[in-house]
């Protein structure tokens, strides 16, 4: 009986994996699985100018763009509000006993819940839906994006001898073929505070796009020595930056960060992906969410980004089979949150 089951799994696994790969083929991804968000964007799209146009261009050319909060919120109030909010959360967190919390990244102190409930009273959550930010992400995707990830954490210094683990190692995030994370530094980040690092031009279609590719529906954690030999030094971007620095980045490309040797780093992250994604959503929605959301009077693009997103039951099922069987019969790596 067991042999029969294993044989069936062996036969089905390549088909299921092929299905996930097919969803990531450019025209299928853009005009098939993302048909509706693509149409919505096409019908609403506006020409972006100034800083937004520059950021989208940098994203397209390099997979990364650096900006500063001042460029979006010139009066500095937004940054002050965000910093004050983070300080309150940090004080609360330090006062609580957090030893029992399940942590996959022990070098991080997470100031939100691991899967936070979206809350428009939280200024970080509203920041993630600020129209100019959503417009940039959408223009880069060429379709309406979905917000799926919100995290605020403090990267704790680990000294210089510690082994790099999880996202401190080079990797590609698993979620989508084209994705975008917006990182906001809430303190000055120098080389010793675990800056975010990126291999420029490592997303699909660019210079290093096929180097250690994602393996849909999972990402990739490549061998470091080969990777470091292959990528030209000048293409490795070490994103040090002063408080208020905003990094827009397609993290389907190769990146790592948070290896702080001496100073801590306080960073907010908002993650956006598309209907192509099949990995679990990393935010939750409160009760009466639709009413709460429409009361916010966000732009149509931001309303779309924040509207509940659920992976279809079929995709969830196939995803869980692939994850289980890859490990069971292939002894292969499984899903790793980016
Ligand atoms: O902490 C960092 O700088 C990297 C985080 C990361 O890999 C991610 O958010 O996908
Ligand atoms: Fe990542």
**Residue 70 counted as domain residue:** yes
Nearest CA owner, ligand 1 atom 4: 257
Task: Tell me, using a 6 A CB cutoff, whether residue 30 lines ligand 1.
Answer: no
Task: Tell me, using a 6 A CB cutoff, whether residue 251 lines ligand 1.
Answer: yes
Query: How far apart are the CA of 131 and the centre of ligand 1, in A?
Result: 24
Q: Of 243, 249, 149, which is closest to residue 196 (Cα–Cα)?
A: 249
Number of H helices, E strands in the chain: 12, 9
**Residue 226 counted as domain residue:** yes
Q: Looking at the CA of residue 151, tell me the nearest atom of ligand 1.
A: 9
pLDDT of residue 327: 87
Task: Tell me, using a 6 A CB cutoff, whether residue 253 lines ligand 1.
Answer: no
CB atoms within 10 A of CB 168: 21
Using only C-alpha atoms, what is the Rg of the chain? 20
**Residue 45 counted as domain residue:** yes
The dihedral over CA atoms of 49, 55, 61, 65, expressed in degrees to the nearest 10, equals 170
Q: Of 300, 252, 256, which is closest to residue 277 (Cα–Cα)?
A: 252
- Give the CATH number for residue 231: 2.60.120.620
How many angstroms separate the CA atoms of 171 and 223, rounded?
Answer: 9
Of the ligands numbered here, which is closest to the C-alpha atom of 110? Answer: 1
Burial of 8 (0-12, 13-18, 19+ CB in 10 A): exposed
pLDDT of residue 2: 84
**Residue 335 counted as domain residue:** no
pLDDT of residue 102: 55
pLDDT of residue 218: 87
**Residue 338 counted as domain residue:** no
pLDDT of residue 138: 97
pLDDT of residue 99: 52
Question: Containing domain of residue 324, as a range?
Answer: 2-330
State the total domains in the chain.
1
Task: Kindly give, in sequence order, each residue whose CB lies less than 8 Å from that of residue 78, ignoring residues fewer than 6 positions away.
Answer: 69, 72, 123, 127
**Residue 153 counted as domain residue:** yes
How many angstroms separate the CA atoms of 153 and 269, rounded?
Answer: 8
CB atoms within 10 A of CB 97: 6
How many angstroms separate the CA atoms of 287 and 294, rounded?
Answer: 13
How many angstroms separate the CA atoms of 322 and 324, rounded?
Answer: 6
**Residue 74 counted as domain residue:** yes
Q: Are 223 and 161 in contact (CB under 8 A)?
A: no
**Residue 336 counted as domain residue:** no
Task: Tell me, using a 6 A CB cutoff, whether residue 181 lines ligand 1.
Answer: yes
Q: Looking at the CA of residue 195, tell me the nearest atom of ligand 1.
A: 3
Ligand 1: residue of 114, 168, 251, 263 to mutate (most ligand atoms within 8 A of CB) is 251
pLDDT of residue 228: 87
List the structure tokens of 250: 């397609």
List the structure tokens of 120: 């428009």
User: Which residue spans within 221-283 are E strands per DSSP?
Assistant: 236-239, 245-249, 255-256, 265-273
Q: Are 149 and 282 in contact (CB under 8 A)?
A: yes
pLDDT of residue 191: 97
Query: How far apart are the CA of 256 and the centre of ligand 2, in A?
Result: 6
* Residues having C-beta closer than 5 Å to ion ligand 2: 167, 173, 251, 338
Tens-binned pLDDT, residue by residue, of the chain (338 aa): 888 999 999 999 999 999 999 999 999 999 999 999 999 999 988 889 999 999 999 999 999 999 999 999 988 899 999 999 999 999 988 776 555 555 667 788 999 999 999 999 999 999 999 999 999 999 999 999 999 999 999 999 988 888 999 999 999 999 999 999 999 999 999 999 999 999 999 999 999 999 999 988 888 889 888 898 999 999 999 999 999 999 999 999 999 999 999 999 999 999 999 999 999 999 999 999 999 999 999 999 999 999 998 899 999 999 999 999 988 887 776 667 77
């Amino acid at each position: 009986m067991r042999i029969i089951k294993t044989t069936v799994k062996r036969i089905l696994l390549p088909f299921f994996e092929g299905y996930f790969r097919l969803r990531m083929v450019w025209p299928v991804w853009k005009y098939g699985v993302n048909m509706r968000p693509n149409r919505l964007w096409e019908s609403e799209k506006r020409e972006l100018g100034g800083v937004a146009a520059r950021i989208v261009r940098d994203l397209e050319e390099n997979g990364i763009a650096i900006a500063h909060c001042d460029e979006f919120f010139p009066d500095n109030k937004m940054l002050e509000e965000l910093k004050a909010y983070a300080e309150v959360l940090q004080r609360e967190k330090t006062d609580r006993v957090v030893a029992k919390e399940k942590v996959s990244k022990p070098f991080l102190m997470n100031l939100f819940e691991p899967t936070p409930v979206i809350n428009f009273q939280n200024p970080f959550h509203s920041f993630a839906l600020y129209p100019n930010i959503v417009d940039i992400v959408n223009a880069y995707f060429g379709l309406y994006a979905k917000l799926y990830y919100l995290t605020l954490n403090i990267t704790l210094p680990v000294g210089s001898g510690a082994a790099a683990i999880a996202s401190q190692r080079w990797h590609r995030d698993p979620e989508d073929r084209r994705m975008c994370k917006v990182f906001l530094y809430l303190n000055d980040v120098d080389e010793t505070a675990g800056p975010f690092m990126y291999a420029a031009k490592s997303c699909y279609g660019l210079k290093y796009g096929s180097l250690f590719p994602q393996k849909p529906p999972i990402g990739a954690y490549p061998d470091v020595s080969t990777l470091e030999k292959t990528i030209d030094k000048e293409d490795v971007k070490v994103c040090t930056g002063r408080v208020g620095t905003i990094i827009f980045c397609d993290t389907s490309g190769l990146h790592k960060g948070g290896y702080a040797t001496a100073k801590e780093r306080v960073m907010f992250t908002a993650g956006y992906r598309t209907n192509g994604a099949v990995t679990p959503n990393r935010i939750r929605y409160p009760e009466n969410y639709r009413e709460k959301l429409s009361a916010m009077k966000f732009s149509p693009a931001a309303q779309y980004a924040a509207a509940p997103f659920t992976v279809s039951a079929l995709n969830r099922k196939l995803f869980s089979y692939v994850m289980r069987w890859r490990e069971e019969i292939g002894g292969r790596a499984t899903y790793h949150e980016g």
